[in-house]
């Protein structure tokens, strides 16, 4: 796998995290550099970790991973999106509340589950796994941090509407993932 192919793969894998980061920036409103770093670290870290796990599992669990990964991503994104929609109708919350470990962990897993399947495929290709996962993690870190900033620029005046839109977007990403996994799309 060449550097261009790896770059295209890394950008493709980071798109879900980028979209979620924009939604997170929208819902946070006023952000600090630490918000960008937190999102980048969670999403970039999991986008690097999942292919490594997939690579290590290799062919042993290839059928299970590819068979159910779309369902796992769908359920997690449905839960996260539903919570965001619910929060959009509630009272305003503190900015840091949306960056808690539980929320970020669920989002990081949901947006990186497809990277697990990519890691399984890496086991069958001649890929320098350390370089590949480091590159994927760095690209995703940058996209996620930028997404939070981009989202915050648009979200300060429209926080509840942004949370509603973000929740809907997450649920649609989950539905798309499910339909792709089922072969409908």
Averaged pLDDT score across all residues of the chain: 81
Rounded CA separation 36/41 (Å): 8
Question: What are the residues whose beta carbons fall under 8 Å from the beta carbon of 138, sequence distance 6 or more?
Answer: 44
Threshold 0.75, pTM exceeds: no
pLDDT band at residue 1 using 50, 70 and 90 as cut-offs: low
Report the pLDDT value the prediction gives residue 163, as an integer from 0 to 100: 65
Residue 20 or residue 139, greater confidence: 139
Mean pLDDT, range 39-56, rounded to an integer: 94
- Burial code (b: 16+ CB inside 10 Å, e: under 16) for 1-14 equals eeeeebeebbeebb
Report the pLDDT value the prediction gives residue 131, as an integer from 0 to 100: 94
List pLDDT tens digits, range 63-107. Answer: 666 677 777 767 866 877 787 688 778 764 433 347 889 889 988
Helices 62-88 and 101-122, axial angle in degrees (round to 10) = 150
pLDDT band at residue 149 using 50, 70 and 90 as cut-offs: very high
Closest CA to 81 of 178, 173, 180: 173
pLDDT band at residue 134 using 50, 70 and 90 as cut-offs: very high
| Residue 11 scores a pLDDT above 80 | yes
pLDDT band at residue 38 using 50, 70 and 90 as cut-offs: very high
């Amino acid at each position: 796998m060449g550097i261009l192919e790896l770059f295209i793969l890394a950008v493709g894998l980071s798109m879900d995290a980028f979209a979620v980061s924009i939604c997170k920036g929208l819902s946070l409103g006023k952000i600090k550099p630490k918000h960008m770093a937190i999102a980048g670290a969670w999403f970039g870290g999991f986008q690097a970790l999942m292919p490594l796990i997939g690579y290590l599992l290799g062919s042993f669990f290839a059928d299970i991973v590819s068979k159910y990964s779309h369902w796992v991503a769908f359920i997690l994104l449905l839960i996260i999106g539903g919570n965001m929609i619910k929060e959009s109708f509630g009272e305003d919350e503190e900015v840091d509340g949306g960056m808690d470990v539980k929320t970020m962990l669920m989002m990081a897993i949901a947006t990186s589950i497809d990277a697990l399947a990519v890691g399984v495929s890496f086991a069958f290709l001649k890929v320098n796994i350390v370089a590949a996962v480091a590159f994927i993690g760095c690209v995703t870190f940058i996209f996620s941090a930028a997404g939070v900033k981009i989202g915050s620029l648009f979200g300060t005046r429209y926080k509840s509407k942004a949370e509603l839109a973000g929740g809907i977007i997450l649920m649609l990403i989950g539905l798309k993932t499910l339909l792709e996994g089922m072969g409908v799309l």
